[in-house]
Amino acid sequence: MINNWHTLESLQPRVMRLLTNSIQKQRLAHAYLFEGKKGTGKRDIGLLFAKSYFCEDPIHVNPCNKCRNCKRIDSGNHPDVHIIEPDGLSIKKSQIHDLQAEFSKSGVESNKKLYMIIHADKMTVNAANSLLKFLEEPNASTIAILVTEQYHKILNTILSRCQLVQFQPLPPEAIQNQLEAAGVSKHIAAIVANMTNDSEEALEMAKDDWFASARTKMIKLYEVIVSRKGQAPIYVHTEWMNHFSDKEKQQTGLDLLLYIYKDILSVQLGNKEQVIFNDMVQQLTQHALQMTQRSVTDKMTSILEAKNRLHANVNPQLLMEQLVLTLQEG
């Protein structure tokens, strides 16, 4: 939950500036379209906006997070804040009609009302047309927030009546900070933050015991590749394949292995601050001295080729055995 606008400085600075300027100058649009990839904070920022709009004791642009309105929005119980989500696979006309009926009544405690439509691109044609009529006759104190990951699926007639607010993919540093603030260890947070720009998916991955074990097994495989010639195929057979048991997990394993060699290249290029496996810097620095940059990039290419071949009907164990032998060369 995002509780104040200042925390968005490193996450969504453009969104923060646009919305806080509107709040400060009291020039709020009657409809916003929040557009961006999954996990970029659209829903949380919509709720923060709602709190700023209804807060009884705001601190500049920030909600107080203590008043009755703020607390009820946090708990999802404010009578004048409505959130519409898909009923099954779509948002149906009846849901928009129910919303219109609710908003035809005067506000329970003021004239202000706010509604947020999550996955607005999933409205049926009839639902979208009903919403369009709603947007064409806006109430001065009513604010609509449409949230979508697929901007191109929204009717042009709806787009033209909304102020577009574009959310950018979150940078790895921001996701890593969020994860560490949530209690995730630094070494897990660093790698997860580079594997997805979805903050929700990142937290789920970081707290998954399977992923922590996958990182450990990948490091063990790397150590075998580097120091125990001929033993890597045996490790693949006895340890690797049991843990990385399907294609999705095998792709994750190859991604982890790729990041190790990316880190070695970062060290060779003098960019130690970019190393993701921060608990292996000393070891990777030593290995960086023992390989040429060409050798490292060739190994990275081999891993990328293995990732591509996983999509074809190849035997994953044979693929891995061939890969580790290739990585041991040179």
CATH of 5-169, one of 3.40.50.150, 1.10.3720.10, 3.40.50.300, 2.40.30.30: 3.40.50.300
Rounded Cα–Cα distance for residues 183 and 178 (Å): 9
Q: Which fold has domain 208-328?
A: Zinc Finger, Delta Prime; domain 3 (1.20.272)
Alpha carbon separation from 25 to 102, 121, 151, 219 (Å, rounded)? 29, 30, 28, 54
Per domain, the residue ranges of the chain are 5-169, 208-328
Q: What is the pLDDT of residue 220?
A: 94
Dig out the tokens for 80 from the structure. Answer: 């004048």
Q: What is the pLDDT of residue 108?
A: 58
Domain pair 5-169 / 208-328, same fold:
no
In degrees to the nearest 10, what's the CA dihedral of 219, 222, 228, 232? 100
Rounded Cα–Cα distance for residues 212 and 48 (Å): 33
* Under 8 Å between Cβ of 34 and 45: yes
Q: Which residues of the chain have pLDDT under 50?
A: none
Q: What is the pLDDT of residue 298?
A: 94
* Under 8 Å between Cβ of 71 and 40: no
Rounded Cα–Cα distance for residues 25 and 308 (Å): 52
Q: What is the pLDDT of residue 312?
A: 82
Question: Global pTM?
Answer: 0.72
Average pLDDT, the chain: 90
For residue 275, the Cα-to-chain-centroid distance in whole angstroms is: 21
Q: What is the pLDDT of residue 9?
A: 83
Q: What is the pLDDT of residue 135?
A: 85
